[in-house]
Amino acid sequence: MPRTEFRIIPPFNFDLSIKFCERTKFDVLDRNDKYCLKRFTKIDNTPVFIEIGCGGTADKPVGLAKWSYPEGGQIDENRISATAGKILSADIDLKPFYRKLDQSAKLKPLKKNLYGLKPILTATVFESAAWAIIGQQVNLTFATRTKIRLEKRYGKSIKTGGNQFFLFPDPGKIAGIRVTTLRNMQFSQRKAEYLIGLAKICTKENDFFESLSNSPYNKAIEKLTAVRGIGIWSANYLLMRGVGHLNCLPLGDTGLTRATKEVYNMRKKPDNDKIEKLARRFEPYRSLYTLYLWFSL
């Protein structure tokens, strides 16, 4: 199995960062393996099973990756490194954000307690968008089962180390599913329509998500919320976890609201206006601000 190393801008705490995957139950993690973050995805339209880890220290991290081709084919090593690096947010420099934390007496302790924490992204933006729709107004366990049900029927899988890993179905495949079929898989009527509708848009516009990472936050939100079924929370989620946009603020998120109340020692729950005002000083790093508040709980 080929292996490579890739650059990660320090600081980066891999063990702390992948706890986000454990919280969301999005990934199967093998803590006994140095390459504990494993994904079955497509790179340049070739199915690849990629295993990602990190060596070194928080201040001198080294990204690690090894991979295989379940259906044959070959990918340039640089594309593998780029994919693994994107998943680990390897190119994010935390230092400017930390300088902002240092200026806040209430948030400065988060720098010490969560030093090196970076967001872990999904392998593709479409998968995070689909997950945002599937997870609307249901608990995490039900959403996870629904997603796996979709993957089993329309995706592909590989079994290794006693675990089964799924390749999320392409937009083209989901675009051809009937609403009644998804209803029989425990999707609500609206979620079935939303998911199929999004898949059809992505099939027609292959670059639909590509411009979002460099778009101003308000323009990215405007583009996404114009899609039926993607509200403000879903748009923020897929921008944070799929695109890696750094300036998201998911107003209305219960975790963000609760963390804001606790970290700032508020007597009552803050409203969205108050949360937005407090987050203003952390622009253009509100996604990191949100992540660190979540982890403070």
Which of 195, 218, 243 finishes a domain?
Answer: 243
The domain tally of the chain equals 2
Task: With respect to residue 132, please indicate whether it lies within any of the assigned structural domains.
Answer: yes
pLDDT of 196 reads 98
Cβ atoms of residues 224 and 238 within 8 Å: yes
177 with 235, same domain: the answer is: yes
Residues in the chain: 297
Which of 196, 218, 243 finishes a domain?
Answer: 243
Task: With respect to residue 33, please indicate whether it lies within any of the assigned structural domains.
Answer: yes
Task: With respect to residue 18, please indicate whether it lies within any of the assigned structural domains.
Answer: yes
pLDDT of 149 reads 94
pLDDT of 31 reads 66
Cβ atoms of residues 168 and 127 within 8 Å: yes
**Joined tokens for residue 36:** 């504990």
**Joined tokens for residue 153:** 């029927």
Which of 215, 243, 271 finishes a domain?
Answer: 243
pLDDT of 239 reads 95
pLDDT of 24 reads 65
236 with 178, same domain: the answer is: yes
Q: What CATH code is carried by the domain that includes residue 194?
A: 1.10.340.30
Residues of the chain with pLDDT below 70 are 23-26, 28-29, 31-32
Cβ atoms of residues 131 and 26 within 8 Å: yes
134 with 239, same domain: the answer is: yes
Cβ atoms of residues 48 and 67 within 8 Å: yes
pLDDT of 21 reads 78
The residue range of the domain holding 231 is: 125-156+166-243
Cβ atoms of residues 28 and 58 within 8 Å: no
pLDDT of 157 reads 92
Q: What is the pTM of this model?
A: 0.94
**Joined tokens for residue 72:** 């044959």
184 with 74, same domain: the answer is: no
Cβ atoms of residues 88 and 54 within 8 Å: yes
238 with 135, same domain: the answer is: yes
12 with 72, same domain: the answer is: yes
76 with 12, same domain: the answer is: yes
What is the tens place of the pLDDT at every residue in 221-240? Answer: 999 999 999 999 899 989 99
Residue 67 exposed, middle or buried by CB count within 10 Å (0-12, 13-18, 19+): buried
Q: Name, in order, each residue with C-beta under 8 angstroms of 286's C-beta and a sequence gap of 6 or more.
A: 217, 246, 247, 248, 249, 279
142 with 221, same domain: the answer is: yes
pLDDT of 213 reads 77
pLDDT of 82 reads 97
21 with 86, same domain: the answer is: yes
Task: With respect to residue 10, please indicate whether it lies within any of the assigned structural domains.
Answer: yes
CA distance 291 to 286: 8
Task: With respect to residue 26, please indicate whether it lies within any of the assigned structural domains.
Answer: yes
pLDDT of 140 reads 83
Task: With respect to residue 274, please indicate whether it lies within any of the assigned structural domains.
Answer: no
66 with 136, same domain: the answer is: no
pLDDT of 150 reads 96
pLDDT of 32 reads 64
237 with 136, same domain: the answer is: yes
Q: What CATH code is carried by the domain that includes residue 9?
A: 3.30.310
Q: Name, in order, each residue with C-beta under 8 angstroms of 223's C-beta and a sequence gap of 6 or more.
A: 212, 215
Task: With respect to residue 8, please indicate whether it lies within any of the assigned structural domains.
Answer: yes
CA distance 99 to 297: 22
Task: With respect to residue 52, please indicate whether it lies within any of the assigned structural domains.
Answer: yes
75 with 21, same domain: the answer is: yes
